[in-house]
Each structure stands twice: as C-alpha cells, then as structure tokens.
C-alpha cells in the first residue's frame, strides 16, 4: 500500500507513534509518505520505503496567522495525486483530520482517497473539548472513513463526550521489542528517568519533588529527557531544592532506546495519559514504571506486577514505591522481568502493526 501519514513532528507521543508506525509499515514493504511542516523527530534520513514532503506555509502580510490547515490540505492532495496514495492516515484530530478531509474532496473527481484518523488523547480531552473546537472535532471524527484510538479509555471518552455514532477501533500503542530491550544499567547512583514534552499535564515538577523524597533514603539521580514549557520551572525547582547536581536535563533525544535501558525506574506522574507510551517503551527495556492512575494507563500496567500506579499529585506515595524498588533487588528484578514480558506479549510491533494493515484493507475494500 501507498500511505500518507501526517502528524505533529515535535517531541510528543502522537508524533512518535505516527513516525514509528510509518517506519514499521515501510519495513513490511509499504510505501510511506510523511506530510508535515518539519521532519518528524524520530525519522532518520535514508529510511528505505519512506519519503518526506514538507508543508510550506505562506507568510503573506494579509494573514495575521499563517493558514497552515489550507497549506497542509493542498500538499496532501498534491502528494496523493503525484504518488497515487491509497489512503491518508492522520494522527491527532485537530487540524490534521480536517485538512485530510479537504484533500479528500479535492481528489474526489479523480478517485476515492480514504482518511483514517487516530486519536491520541489531548486532541479529545483538551483541545477538542474547548468550545471553539468541539464542533469541528466532532465533524472530523464523523466524516473520517476510519477512526482509531490508542486505548479503550480514549474510545469510550470519545463516544461519550462527542456523542458520535462513528465506530472507533481500538489499536493500542506499540513498541519494537527488538530495538527497545534491556541493557546494562548506569553505574554509580540509581537512575530515575522522566521522558515527556514538559507540558503542564505531564507534571514534570513532581519528578523533582519525588527525587527529593527518594534521596532521603536512597542515593539516586534524575534524568529529564525532552523539552517544553515547564522545563525552566523544573530547572528552577531543582535549584531551590538543592538538587542541581543530581538532576540532568538531557533535552530532546531522538534515540531514546539507547538511553532508556540505563535507567532503573521511569517516573510518569502525569495528570492525564490516554495510554502512556513512555511507560511502554521503558517496560520493554526492563525499566519499572511508577506512574499515576489516570486515563488508559491501567490498560498497560497492572499495579504491583508490571509497575505501580498512584494518585495524581501524590508525590510521597510515588516516592515510597521508588524507594522500595531501589532497596529490594529481588523485588525489582521480578517486576522488571514482568514489565518486559508484558511489552513482548501484548504490545510488540509485530503484534500491533498487522492490526493497522487489516484496518486499512477493510477501508480500501
């Protein structure tokens, strides 16, 4: 199949999933065309079967805000016609699905161009929930030929909140377990890891507070991977709490699979997670997640088996779980093995990618 994929190319779960999906599909013999305003962060150069098409936006003085949606729709239609795409798969409802629907109409006189929209979480729970975007988000879901969600929780939330009749297929996030796999741990202090886009919903500052509590009993340091609006506040808090030398801000990393196995525990204190991709990648690397019980995370982690789930904002509770993991070697090793086994048996790319292929074929037929 020839598939066009559009996503936010920045450091965030939806863009990472879209990029990894494209790479996995290309490895299975499909022709993949990424259509975005910048090269997706995990898309390396020279990937076989993958092409990138940049969306250029006019800065004509008439426009107070550049008309990205229209530029994207035009580029989608252009790429679809030139490369005879079989379908468009867009990630994150706003604005990508709307642009894809415009591109589909532009192609309608020539041939059918199905649109698949994958919902990732905040496009439904935050952006789509705003009054100014509610109607257009609902419209984009109803008019898409196919709609998928990354968790049962998100599928239910979408159906209930937007009252759409369009069936939402649950195809969970995945991880390539041959790439994300256990490796040697960092020497010296125990390592806590946080990976996010540092938006307020990720509660990155809680990680600094958790480290403070953990260090009262265990020698540990914290690696903060990613960037975003709360990074400066996190750096400032680490200074205020006297933790500067124990917190490393590593910025954006396009090869997290090399870094992640070195950690012992992943911290994911989010206010909301539709699924929890960072936790899954950590589990595949034999890193035990300590996360919050929110959204669809419970579909990934069974508390006390593959990791721990605590209440949002319960810094002390999360810290206690971390201390136990770092203090009891046998307990830690058992959970690390269980986490890896969970990733391999339920969420490996070899199990999930065929679900997308089957869904595409259903829509094309």
Domain that residue 148 falls in: 2-174+349-364
- With tokens 């019980």, the residue in question is 293
139 and 218 together in one domain? no
* Residues 222-250 pLDDT 10s: 999 999 999 999 999 999 999 999 999 99
> Contact, 281 vs 196, CB < 8 A?
no
Q: How far is CA 114 from the centre of its chain?
A: 24
Give a yes or no: residue 183 inside a domain.
no
Distance CA 279, CA 300 (A): 8
pLDDT at position 280 is: 97
Structure tokens of 177? 């377990």
pLDDT at position 63 is: 67
Distance CA 68, CA 340 (A): 41
Give a yes or no: residue 196 inside a domain.
yes
For the chain, the average pLDDT equals 92
329 and 353 together in one domain? no
Q: Which of 32, 296, 255 is nearest to 158 (CA)?
A: 296
* Residues 180-193 pLDDT 10s: 999 999 988 999 99
Domains contained in the chain, number: 2
163 and 216 together in one domain? no
The alpha carbon dihedral of 4, 90, 9, 352 has a sign of: negative
Question: Does residue 328 have a pLDDT over 90?
Answer: yes
Give a yes or no: residue 301 inside a domain.
yes
Give a yes or no: residue 146 inside a domain.
yes
Structure tokens of 318? 């999360």
| Bridge pairing between strands 87-91 and 50-54 | unpaired
Structure tokens of 6? 């559009």
pLDDT at position 32 is: 97
Give a yes or no: residue 185 inside a domain.
no
Question: Does residue 215 have a pLDDT over 90?
Answer: yes
Burial class (CB in 10 A: 0-12, 13-18, 19+), 26: middle
Give a yes or no: residue 47 inside a domain.
yes
Could you check whether the bond before residue 95 is cis, i.e. omega within 30 degrees of 0?
Answer: yes
Alpha-helix runs per DSSP H in 151-250:
152-162, 204-214, 231-240
pLDDT at position 57 is: 81
Radius of gyration of the chain measured on its C-alpha atoms? 21
pLDDT at position 68 is: 87
CATH number for the domain spanning 310: value is 3.40.50.2000
Task: Pick left, alpha or beta for residue 307 (phi over 0 → left; psi -120 to 50 → alpha; otherwise beta).
Answer: left
294 and 360 together in one domain? no
Give a yes or no: residue 180 inside a domain.
no
What DSSP element (H or E) covers 238? helix 231-240
Regarding pTM above 0.85, the answer is yes
Question: Does residue 128 have a pLDDT over 60?
Answer: no
* Residues 45-92 pLDDT 10s: 667 899 999 998 877 666 666 788 999 999 999 999 999 999 999 998
138 and 55 together in one domain? yes
270 and 353 together in one domain? no
Distance CA 297, CA 283 (A): 13
16 and 159 together in one domain? yes
Buried-exposed string 236-246: b where 16+ CB fall within 10 A, e elsewhere: ebbeeeebeeb
194 and 325 together in one domain? yes
Higher-confidence residue: 162 or 316? 316
Burial class (CB in 10 A: 0-12, 13-18, 19+), 75: buried
């Amino acid at each position: 199949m020839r598939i066009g994929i559009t996503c936010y190319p920045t450091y965030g779960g939806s863009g990472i999933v879209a990029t990894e999906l494209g790479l996995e599909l290309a490895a299975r013999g499909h022709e993949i065309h990424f259509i975005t305003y910048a090269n997706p962060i995990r898309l390396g150069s020279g990937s076989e079967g993958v092409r990138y098409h940049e969306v250029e936006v006019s800065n004509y003085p008439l426009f107070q805000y550049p008309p990205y949606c229209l530029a994207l729709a035009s580029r989608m239609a252009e790429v679809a016609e030139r490369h005879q795409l079989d379908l468009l798969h867009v990630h994150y409802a706003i604005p990508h699905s709307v642009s894809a629907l415009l591109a589909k109409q532009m192609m309608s006189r020539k041939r059918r161009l199905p649109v698949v929209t994958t919902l990732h979480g905040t496009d439904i729970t935050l952006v789509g929930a705003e009054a100014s975007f509610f109607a257009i988000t609902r419209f984009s879901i109803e008019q898409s030929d196919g709609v998928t969600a990354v968790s049962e929780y998100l599928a239910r939330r979408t159906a209930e909140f937007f009252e759409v009749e369009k069936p939402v297929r649950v195809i969970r996030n995945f991880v390539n377990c041959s790439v994300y796999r256990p490796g040697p741990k960092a020497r010296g202090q125990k390592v806590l890891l946080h990976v996010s886009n540092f938006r307020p919903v990720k509660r990155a500052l809680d990680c600094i507070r958790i480290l403070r509590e953990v260090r009262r009993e265990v020698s540990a340091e914290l690696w903060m991977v990613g960037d975003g609006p709360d990074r400066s506040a996190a750096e400032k808090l680490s200074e205020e709490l006297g933790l500067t030398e124990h917190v490393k801000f590593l910025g954006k990393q396009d090869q997290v699979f090399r870094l992640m196995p070195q950690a012992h525990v992943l911290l994911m204190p989010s206010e909301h997670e539709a699924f929890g991709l960072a936790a899954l990648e950590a589990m595949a690397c034999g890193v035990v997640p300590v996360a919050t019980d929110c959204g669809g995370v419970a579909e990934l982690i069974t508390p006390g088996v593959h990791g721990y789930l605590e209440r949002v904002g319960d810094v002390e509770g999360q810290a206690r779980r971390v201390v136990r993991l770092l203090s009891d070697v046998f307990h830690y090793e058992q959970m690390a093995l269980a986490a890896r086994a969970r990733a391999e048996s339920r969420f490996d790319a070899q199990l999930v990618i065929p679900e997308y292929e089957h869904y595409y074929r259903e829509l094309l037929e």
